[in-house]
Chains A and B, each alone.
Chain A
Amino acid sequence: MAVVSFDIEELEELTGKKLKKKVLKNKVTMMGCDFEGFENGEVSYEVFPDRPDMLSAEGFARALRYFLGKDEGLRVYETEESDIEVEKEKSVDSVRPYISAAVISNLDLDESALTSLMQVQEKIHKTLGRERTKVAIGIHDMDRVEAPFTYKGVKPEDVEFTPLQSDEKMNLREIGKKHPKGNYVRIIEGNKKWPIIVDKNNRILSFPPVINGKLTEVTENTKNIFIDVTGTDQKAVDQALNIVVTSLAERGGKIKTVSVDGVDKPDLDPKEMEVDLDYVNSLLGLDLSEKNFTELIRSVGFGYSDGEVKVPAYRTDVMHPIDIVEDVAISYGYENFEAVVPDVPGIGIPRKGEELAGKLREIMIGFGFQEVRSTVLTNKNKQFGRMEMDEEDVAEMENPLTEEYSICRKYILPGLMEVLGQNKHRSYPQKIFEIGDVIVTDGKTETGAKNKRKIAGLLCDERVNYVDMASVVDALMKIFDHGLELRKYDSSMYMDGRAGQIIIDGEPAGFVGEIHPEVLENWELEKPVVAFEIDVEVIGKERNQF
Chain B
Amino acid sequence: MYKLTEEGKKYLEEGIPEKRLFELLEEAKEVDVDELSRDMENSSIAINWALKGGWIEVDEGRVRLVEEPDGFSTQEALERVGSDGKVSDEDRKILLDRNLIKEIREDVVKQAKKQLKQDKISNLTPELIKTGLWRRAEFKEYDTSKTGKAVYPGRKHILTNYVDKIRDVFLEMGFEEAGGPYVESSFWNMDALFIPQDHPAREMQDTFYMKSPKKTKLPKGGLVKSVKGMHEEGDGEAEGWGYSWMEDVAKKPVLRTHTTAVSARKLAEIEPPAKIFSIDRVFRNETMDYSHLPEFMQVEGIVVDEDVSFSNLLGYLKEFYKKLGFEKIRFRPGYFPYTEMSVEPEIYFEERDEWLEMGGAGIFRPEVTRPMGIDVPVLAWGLGLERLPMIKEDIDDIRNFYYENNLKMLKEARI
Contacts and interface: CB of A to CB of B under 8 A. Distances in A.
Contacts of B410: 370-372
6 contacts: A30-B333, A326-B340, A339-B319, A341-B316, A401-B294, A451-B182
Contacts of B278: 351
A396 interface: yes
Contact of B153 (A322, A344, A368): A368
Interface of chain A: mostly helix, strand, loop or mixed:
loop
Given A49-B335, A375-B402, A337 B311 contact: yes
B213 A339 contact: no
Contact of A342 (B208, B307, B365): B307
Interface string A374-401: 1111000000000000000111111111
Contacts of A419: 405, 407
B66 interface: no
Contacts of A397: 208-211, 255, 285
B157 A372 contact: yes
A330 B253 contact: no
Contacts of A347: 174, 176
Given A319-B238, A448-B216, A285 B182 contact: no
Interface residues of B, number: 101
A439 B275 contact: no
B403 interface: yes
B395 interface: no
A401 B286 contact: yes
B317 A371 contact: no
A371 B406 CA distance: 11
Interface in B195-211: 198, 200, 204, 208-211
Given A130-B198, A319-B238, A446 B210 contact: no
B408 A426 contact: yes
A341 B183 CA distance: 34
A448 B167 contact: no
Contacts of B167: 350, 354
A334 B333 contact: yes
Residue of A134, A323, A348, A395 most packed against chain B (CB within 10 A): A348
Interface string A427-454: 1001110000101010101111111000
B95 interface: no
B354 interface: no
B270 to A, nearest CB: 11
Contacts of B318: 339, 341
A446 B185 contact: yes
B146 interface: no
B131 interface: no
Contact of A447 (B173, B181, B331, B402): B181
Interface in B338-386: 340-344, 363, 365-367, 377
B331 A351 contact: no
Best-surrounded residue of B343, B344, B407 (most CB of chain A within 10 A):
B407
Interface string A157-176: 00000000000000000000
A349 interface: yes
B311 A351 contact: no
Contacts of B234: 319-320
Contacts of A394: 212
Interface string A309-346: 00000000001111101100110001101111110111
Given A399-B204, A401-B285, A447 B310 contact: no
Contact of A348 (B171, B309, B404): B171
Nearest to A448: B213
A127 interface: yes
B177 A342 contact: no
A367 to B, nearest CB: 7
B176 A348 contact: yes
A350 B411 CA distance: 28
A45 interface: no
B295 A344 contact: no
Interface string B153-178: 11111011000100100111111111
A375 B295 contact: yes
A372 B156 CA distance: 8
A330 B156 CA distance: 43
A61 to B, nearest CB: 18
